[in-house]
Structure 1
Amino acid sequence: MVHQHTILDWLGQHVFIALDVHKRSWVVAIVTEQTDFKTFTQPPEVRLLVSYLHRHFPGATYHCVYEAGYCGYWICEQLRAHGIDCIVINPADVPTTDKEKKHKTNKVDARKLARSLRNGELVPLYLPSRVALEDRTLVRSRQMFVSKQTRSKNQIKALLSFYGITLPEDMTDRYWSRRYIAWLESLSLQSPSGTMTLKTLLEELAHLRKSILGTTRAICLLARTETYASNVAYLTTISGISTLVAMILLTEIITLDRFHSLDHLACFVGLVPGERSSGDERTMTGMTERKNRHLRWILTECAWVAIRYDESLALDFNTLCRRMPKNQAIVRIARKILNRVRFVLKHQQPCIVLKAA
């Protein structure tokens, strides 16, 4: 009996791998330069995928892709550490046929990604360093706690309104002062159940206030480090931008090198109009739905503050309000503030607004 033993050598050839990532499993689609090779399911472990590739495609150049989602960028980092060229993409930017929309499965999604990667149709997301990502997580956690605090306050107000409990005439719930919170803590409802509910809500609020204070202090300390100190100093010379806002901007943008123009940066933030045009018809649809929700929100809030202190922005706002609603005019002001942000970061100098004599 003759035994044939073939030595595989994929040197100089390219293999394209797409992952449909889930918590308990990965669907892997592999295609070569000319053929669709195989689609299979494996446990969610990088080492198993790397072992499979080295076993079946030794010597090949590997290219991998998966969609951004709950799992972050750690898969990409580990694959790159094993010498595999890996990118992460926006799920909304994957070319999709009508058939793939109507018959959507994990295997279909993985094969679609693999073919798009082979055809060069995918635009990778910018991947920050692990340290930059963790700094961003700290800043975002404060925003999360603030949102939870607002919800907690609304729940307490709703409870008081439901049972017809009114505030004393000499007290307001606008600022949630120590005196107001002490009054809330002194309240007793008609049953132990109601009193316990109010007490639990107040304890949750106290915990959130403590978390906000802790993260705020940590962010302020981070702003004084060598990585951020100079840029924070430049950004805070812009009207409407505080240290916390500057840290939101810096941790979301990371570096201006990823944006080739102001328009590119504005597209990332979401301060550009949407458009639906066909033939000679051109329809603008207001602000685009594609955005960085953290940046667009905070720049709009900064714009409302800036028009109260910056004479040139106030003049621009008043002029714009003559021909459009205020909520549209403020978006233009936010775009101007973004322009100033880009200028001070690019030229590493403070913002100086010249005033008329």
Structure 2
Amino acid sequence: MENLRSKEIDFSSTDIYVGIDNHKKNWKVNILVGEIDHKTFTLNPEPKILSRYLRKNFPGGNYYSAYEAGYSGFWAHEVLEELGIKSIVVNPADVPTMEKERRTKNDRVDCRKIARSLRNGDLKGIYTPSRAVQEDRTLLRLHIQLTKEQTRIKNQIKAILGFYGTEIPEEKVKSHWSREFIRWLGSVKFATESGKLALSIQTERLISLRNRIVVLVKQIRLLSKTDRYKDEIELLTSVCGIGLLTAMHLTVEIVDINRFKNLDELASYIGLAPGEHSSADKVFNGKMTKRGKGHIRYLLIEASWVAVRKDPALMMAYSEYKKKMIAQKAIIKIARKLLNRIRFVLRNKQRYVISVVD
């Protein structure tokens, strides 16, 4: 009887699929045993608890799990892998969704469709960088966030000045946001203490934020000189328009250029791939999709404005595009050409050399 029981609970040739809808306080989990829907339940967000459940109920099984990329990052994926569960993290937009599931969206539905798609082989895991690169990404993304916040505060200060008709003296215009200009803000007159305090607080916020950005930039520059990044940074900064900060943002997001099969795949990752729809035998390209790294796309577009002034080939290309479309669309096409240069130098380990022809 003992031998019979042991044989019955042997899942060594069985694939077990786990779909996880992860949240901060709990996980909603769906388990499929081959074609059988075993159970949907809630557990604490701890990979070890899930691992114990699987090994207790399906000893010896082949365990597979998937969850959607989001706020929780890759830590759960890393622990699941250490526990012997083959894990992938997927882009939420890539999980096939039936019409009924679109109308009824909840945690139970989400974990079930993830498990089903995992079993059917419909999911492809996104790239998971090392913990060191993840932390460097956090630092670089904070740089973007603080820079945007700095712009917002500057606009708020200008709004206060404009609202009360305070004009910036001509001699201060050229030194906009310099230390001298900041001191001048402290001398602006108001009818009451309320107005003076409002501007003073905004100015203090700006000064504090600028100091934090200085600390960030200093650390980013130090990072760029480490063995982890220095070779890529040297290659990227040889491309017209790409400065050190942009190069660092590109490096920590791309990590390994060879994981992209072609330029289209890289452009899609960055967010420079247009939407596409087809009718009969015709294919139409639309606006840029919202997928991709928005902050990298923004940096590349900004770099493209610099590149068209310094790179003769890009200057000529931009002039030709401008004959057919508005500047904003033309610069997007230049950004894609710039991305192609970036791909070339990283793949071939060669510095970019400016040429007249593209």
TM-score normalized with structure 1 length:
0.95
Are 1:162 and 2:163 counterparts?
yes
Give the drift of 1:286: 2.7
Are 1:81 and 2:82 counterparts?
yes
* Partner in structure 1 of residue 310 of structure 2: 309
Whether the 8 Å contact between 2:18 and 2:115 is mirrored in structure 1 is yes
User: Superposition RMSD on alpha carbons, in Å?
Assistant: 1.9
- Between 147-156 and 192-201, report the one with greater CA deviation: 192-201
CA distance in 2, matches of 1:323, 1:198: 46
Residue 169 to residue 300, structure 1, CA distance change in 2 (3 Å): closer
- Between 157-166 and 203-212, report the one with greater CA deviation: 157-166
Measured against aligned partners, the alpha-carbon deviations of 1:266-301 in whole angstroms (never above 9, x if no partner) come to 221222221121224533213233222122111111
SS of residue matched to 1:291: coil
* Partner in structure 2 of residue 279 of structure 1: 280
- 1:227-306 equivalences under 5 Å are 227-306=228-307
* Partner in structure 2 of residue 331 of structure 1: 332
- 2:5 aligned partner, one-letter code: T
Measured against aligned partners, the alpha-carbon deviations of 1:109-155 in whole angstroms (never above 9, x if no partner) come to 11111111001001111101110111111111111111000001111
Give the drift of 1:168: 2.4
* Partner in structure 1 of residue 153 of structure 2: 152
CA distance in 2, matches of 1:297, 1:174: 26
Give the drift of 1:175: 2.8
* Partner in structure 2 of residue 13 of structure 1: 14
Give the drift of 1:174: 7.0
Unaligned runs of 5+ in 2: none
- 1:111-130 equivalences under 5 Å are 111-130=112-131
SS of residue matched to 1:127: coil
TM-score normalized with structure 2 length:
0.95
Give the drift of 1:265: 1.0
Identity across aligned pairs (percent)?
Answer: 43
- 1:238 aligned partner, one-letter code: V
* Partner in structure 2 of residue 66 of structure 1: 67
Whether the 8 Å contact between 1:274 and 1:289 is mirrored in structure 2 is no
Whether the 8 Å contact between 2:29 and 2:43 is mirrored in structure 1 is yes
Whether the 8 Å contact between 1:173 and 1:180 is mirrored in structure 2 is no
Are 1:351 and 2:352 counterparts?
yes
CA distance in 2, matches of 1:21, 1:80: 16
Residue 241 to residue 4, structure 1, CA distance change in 2 (3 Å): closer
* Partner in structure 1 of residue 39 of structure 2: 38
Give the drift of 1:190: 2.6
Give the drift of 1:3: 11
Whether the 8 Å contact between 1:274 and 1:286 is mirrored in structure 2 is yes
Are 1:187 and 2:192 counterparts?
no
Give the drift of 1:346: 0.8
Whether the 8 Å contact between 2:312 and 2:355 is mirrored in structure 1 is no
User: How many pairs were matched up?
Assistant: 355
